[in-house]
Structure 1
Amino acid sequence: MKIAIGSVNPAKVKAVEEACKEQDIDVIITPMSVPSGVSNQPFSDEETIQGAVNRATNCLLEENIEIGIGLEGGVVETPFGLFVCNWGALVVKGESPIIAGGARIRLPEDVAERLRKGEELGPVMEDVSKVRNVSKKEGAIGIFTNNVITRDEMFTHVMKILIGQFQFRKK
């Protein structure tokens, strides 16, 4: 089966590879740089979901791709503070998207305030953590959980939920 992930970010690609490997699914995975169609820093569940769906759908524009995967990270404001959120979408041509969300953690107020003022989480995290390319490695969740959960693991969880729903749909 040929699937594409709408990203070349190593953490997202690794998540797709790990989830497929854990579920013993024989696939050829093609990372693709496709537009999300949302802001660089999605600021709600709805916008983050839309980015994931758009990435997955844009993968299907390639003729040989059977399944498109979109993984999108964002933030969501709550009465308890600003939280990291992550969503995924799995799209098969001619079918409605399968959508799943994952872990959330509250961002420290100094980080949250910078995002509210228009900065993106990746560069803010590089500044705060002094780790280069943090969004391609452990991510904010890795930094703030002392690497107990990393960005690729967070997205692997979402991928496993997507795969499970896909398998259930095919019964």
Structure 2
Amino acid sequence: MNGLESGLPLRVIVASHNPVKMEAVRSGFQRMFPPSEIEVQAVNVPSGVSPQPMSDAETLQGALNRARSAKQAVPQADFWAGIEGGIEQYKGTLSAFAWVVILSADRCGKARSATFDLPPALAEMIRQGVELGEADDRLFGRQNSKQQNGAVGLLTGDVIDRARYYEQAVVLALIPFKNPHLYPPGGEWG
């Protein structure tokens, strides 16, 4: 019996110490399962993909690897969440997005964030092998922006910051857990 069924606090393990990812997961769970108490814990696990995933498939694999590794590292929890940001080229432009994978003992939920095109100056740095967070810092004269507002926050003037950007994908990845009668146990990777 998990926290949803017992009324106990939900214990969620986030496969990252990045405060932006932790906030997105906490907020997404709170929105989907009010008034549940949410306990979020970070665990540092590898993504198993390149530092800057450059395809949809590699990004999804990174999120899944993170969630699975978190589940192995801290098996006593209700949920495990992996978030991986990625980039994909489409007709000469580079677009940024993220995948979220959430696992429970018997289900898997996944969702992709919205996608936005990167400006040519960022795209050029990424094509030269620079990770998006580092490219953001160079272009905007910042430090550690990926643990703050990220590219999406910098480019939108914080109309959408990185935590809110990921939060929607977290909410969408939680659909199978909100509607377990519609999603049989197991799922694609459960």
Task: State if a TM-score over 0.5 links the two structures.
Answer: yes
Task: Spell out structure 1 runs of 4+ moving beyond 3 A.
Answer: none
- Out of 60, 78, 87, the residue aligned to residue 66 of structure 1 is 78
Choose which of 26, 38, 41 in structure 2 pairs with 1:17: 26
Contact 2:109 2:175 in 1 (8 A): no
| Residue 80 (structure 1) shift | 5.1
CA RMSD of aligned residues (A): 1.4
Q: Once the two structures are superposed, what CA deviation does each residue of 1:38-96 show, in whole Å capped at 9, x if it has no partner?
A: 0000001111101111111111112312311001111111015100011100112344x
Secondary structure at 1:55 match in 2 = helix
SS in 1 for 2:159: coil
CA contact (8 A) 1:4 1:29 kept: yes
Q: How does 1:4-153 map to 2 (within 5 A)?
A: 4-23=13-32, 24=34, 25-61=36-72, 62-79=74-91, 81-95=93-107, 97-153=108-164
Residue identity (%)? 29
Task: Select between 159-168 and 84-93 the one with higher mean Cα deviation.
Answer: 159-168
Equivalent residues of 1:60, 1:66 under 8 A apart? no
Unaligned runs of 5+ residues in structure 1 are none
The unaligned stretches of length 5 or more in structure 2 are 1-9, 183-190
Q: Which has the larger Rg? A: 2
In the superposition, the TM-score normalised over structure 1's length comes to 0.93
Instruction: Give the alignment's TM-score, normalised by structure 2.
Output: 0.84
In structure 2, the CA distance between the partners of 1:66 and 1:21, relative to structure 1 (3 Å rule), is closer
